[in-house]
Structure 1
Amino acid sequence: MGTTSVRILSSAPIRSATLPRVSSWTSPAAVAVQDGLFRALAVLRVIVLVNAVALNVYRSDNFDHPVGGAACVGTMVLWTAFATWAYADPRRRTFLLLGADLAIALALLVVTPVVKGDGFHATVPGFWVMAALLAWAMQYRWVGGLLAGLLLATVDLSLRQEVRQSDYGNAFLLVIGGAIVGFMCQSLQQMATAREVAERDAAMAAERARLARAVHDGVLQVLALVQRRGRELGGDAAELGRLAGEQERELRRLIRAQEAVTTHAPDTVDLVVELSTLERSGTVTVSTPGVPVELPAATARELLAVARACLDNVRLHVGEDAPAWVLLQAFPDHVELSVRDDGPGIPAGRLEQAAADGRLGVAESIRGRVADLGGTAELVTGDFGTEWELVVPRRAALA
């Protein structure tokens, strides 16, 4: 009889997958902090506008072109009203809005010599330009604050015929102040995000504990009862009882593992140690490198779950005592994990038919998990046995 084989390749080529992470830019806590800062900036805009209007009215005799000066003041009033409305919605805080904000501040500085003459001492907008500076610092952190400060300071000083010490001091404060405010905004958002993650982890830990108690009080007791009654009845019931006992032990192991989870779980684990728990004398042989294979904790857990699913299929379809081999190979950028048996193989079309019938165990447990990690799962099967070949990026979850 000829040898037949089926090769099934799942997913796409290896890519750099990422686990969901809370970003210090877009997390709800970070957005809430930024919203609060922009609300405070709206109040500051009004304050510096009132100051600018009052000073320009008081110094109206300093204008060579009063009409031009009035137009500048009117522009500040109108833009302040528009900016207060525009910045209120995070969706409108785009580069276009912030660019226009900074451009108007720079334009008002540039027209100062035109409306006041070359010998001016105070610019038309005065401290009003700090609103645009702070907006850049809040939106683009210290880099945005530094860039906006440098632009404003450079334009301000370049327009003056004589740079006094007070002028230099104001320009220096713009530069250093923008960077410092941006850094402080970034730190506030990072702290808020870290607190949100800690609170969420604590809530998840509490929920895990509650579910563990519920499982212990209900499901485990039922499995123990089925195991005991199966032994008493014998026959097919004994086999059912044995399976119930295995599932009871596995469920207890999962509960203990969940109870051991802390909010400060290690970032990486040794996959060699994890896979060693699969070895069973006379049935499952695990071969691994002689050195630790460090992987992101989430990646290692998923690979261990995939290997368990493969071995479950061996016990279910080949036999409880059927031998199986697990081989791990480590490379600089990826790991290769294979699970092999010497059973009769999977008939061509069976997996597709099972998926069509709604039985998605293999597709979800093996292919789905590997695909989520950015890897590939290849099935080789025939009358020589079945082998799953799994390839996963080593640093996928840390990208």
Structure 2
Amino acid sequence: MVLVANAVGLNVYRADNYQRPVAGLVLVAVMIGWTAFTVWAYADPARRTRVVLGLDLAVALALLLASPLVKGAGFSATVPGFWVMGALLAWAVHWRWRGGLVAALVLAVSDLAIREDVSQTNYGNAYLLVIGGVVIGGLAESLQRMAEQRDTAEREAAAAAERARLARAVHDGVLQVLALVQRRGSELGGDAAELGRLAGEQETVLRGLIHAQDAVPADGVAGTVDVAAELARLERPGVVVAGPGVPVELAGQAGRELVAAVRACLDNVERHAPGARSWVLLEAVGDRIEVSVRDDGPGIPEGRLSEAADQGRLGVSESIRGRVADLGGTATLTTGPEGTEWEISVPREGR
């Protein structure tokens, strides 16, 4: 609005320079109308399309080129004057320094081309247009990067705060209960002692998970994990792990989550089909990593998973399917009297 006010004021002041005053008045009216339209269009990001930006530069260029027609030969100031900066700034903000440079060159070259004599002042104005477009575009790019870095830092801080809150909640609740069960089980002896032993094991595992989570960067993607090596560590009596003879790399957090899902599958076999044997097969197929976890247990009775979910036991839905879904993959369960098989597939780049 400041630019159009300045342009209108200068054109009124230089009204005697027009050879075709009516045409000049039309051009000034076009500037006013187009400015009102662009203020409305640029106010909403959804309306800042390439078409609007292209038309904005085209209108500025047309008014610039029309100056000799309404003012005659030997004019000193164009009709739009500094008003063309509006289109230049829009291009610089939207397409950064490259957009600012392109728009500035188009306007500067056109301005110099329509003049009979190029004075030092005219050249200086054109030069400032080019420099201004590049500088404003560069500043816009820097501000965008700063905003992205700020958003990332805020997300990391929020994630760290949430991890700390969950760790406190687990420590104050679940870990203390497990420690109590372990102590009381040892005191009571018999079956309670076994329950206490299991509670102690789970307490140790849970503490390890909390410490591991604290060690994970907030962005969750730093480094990579060799899934083949991590799965090989799960091999034990009754569990056979097979995979390629080369590392299978996956982004850090994604790799840890995939290994945790496989571990959950094996834990389910150990818990619900004691004595059953399990086989883990890892394959890297194109842009995906596929893991099959199969056992020779009695299978899962029909309706058992729904019953477990209704009772709040979400091991399958969260520990396995939930983890895999968060990675952008799929986890398919097949079960029957011959055993149970999980087929897990995740994208190679993780999510």
Superposition TM-score tier, normalisation by shorter sequence: 0.7 to 0.9
Q: Report what 2:84 is aligned to.
A: 129
Superimposed CA distance per residue, residues 92-132 of structure 1 (whole angstroms, 9 cap, x where no aligned partner): 43445434432331221132122112433321111110111
Alignment-mate amino acid for residue 94 of structure 2: Q
For the residues of structure 1 that align with 2:118 and 2:170, how far apart are their CA atoms? 76
TM-fit CA distance, 1:368: 4.0
2:259 maps to which of 292, 298, 304: 304
Shift of residue 228, structure 1, vs aligned partner: 2.2
Within a 5 Å distance, the mapping from 1:149-298 to structure 2 comes to: 149-164=104-119, 166-263=121-218, 266-279=222-235, 281-298=236-253
Equivalence map 1:315-394=2 (5 Å): 315-319=270-274, 321-347=275-301, 351=305, 361-394=315-348
Q: 1:373 to 1:262 in 2, by over 3 A?
A: closer
- Counterparts in 2 of 1:271 and 1:74: CA distance versus 1, 3 Å: same
Is contact 2:156-2:219 (8 Å) kept?
no
Aligned residues: 350
Identity %: 65
Q: Kindly tell me: are residues 104 and 396 of structure 1, through their superposed partners in 2, closer, same or farther at Cα, counting changes over 3 Å?
A: same
Contact 2:185–2:192 (Cα < 8 Å) also in 1? yes
Q: Aligned to 2:246, what secondary structure does the other structure show? A: coil
Aligned to 2:56: 101
Which structure has more relative contact order (CA 8 Å, sep 6+)? It is 1
> What's the CA shift for 1:307?
0.8
- Distance apart, 1:161 and its partner CA: 4.2
- Equivalent residues in 2 for 1:45-124, closer than 5 Å: 45-46=1-2, 48-124=3-79
Q: Distance in 2 between matches of 1:225 and 1:348?
A: 35
- Following TM superposition, by how much is the alpha carbon of 1:135 offset from its aligned partner in structure 2, in angstroms? 1.3
1:322-365 C-alpha deviation (Å, 9 max, x unpaired): 43232322345222212222212234665577678986642443
1:275-325 deviation per Cα after TM superposition (whole angstroms, max 9, x unaligned): 35534x424343444433221123213212211221122122201x54323
* Contact 1:205/1:261 (8 A) holds in 2: no
Does the 8 A contact of 2:334 with 2:341 survive in 1?
yes
Query: Which deviates further from its counterpart, 282-291 or 240-249?
Result: 282-291
In structure 2, the partner of 1:3 is none
TM-fit CA distance, 1:227: 1.8
- CA deviations on 1:171-219 (whole Å, 9 max, x unpaired) are 4443443233223212211112112212331232234234323422332
Distance 2:309 2:167 in 1: 31
Q: 1:358 to 1:232 in 2, by over 3 A?
A: closer
Equivalent residue for 1:31?
A: none
CA distance in 2, matches of 1:366, 1:217: 26
TM-score normalised per structure 2: 0.85
Shift of 1:256: 0.6
Matched letter for residue 379 of structure 1: L
Structure 1 unaligned residues grouped into runs of 5+: 1-44
Q: Give the SS at the match of 1:298.
A: helix
| Structure-1-length-normalised TM-score | 0.76
Indicate if the aligned counterparts of 1:138 and 1:181 stay in contact, CA closer than 8 A.
Answer: yes
Change (3 A) 1:246 1:324: farther
Displacement of 1:86 in angstroms is 4.4
Give the distance between the partners of 2:59 and 2:121, measured in 1 at CA: 24
Alignment CA distance shift 1:210-1:345 (3 Å): closer
Sort the Cα spacing of 1:369 and 1:261 in 2 relative to 1 into closer, same or farther, 3 A. closer
For the aligned residue pairs, the C-alpha RMSD in angstroms reads 3.1
1:260 is displaced (CA, Å) by 1.5
Paired residues of 1:314 and 1:322 also in contact (CA < 8 A): yes
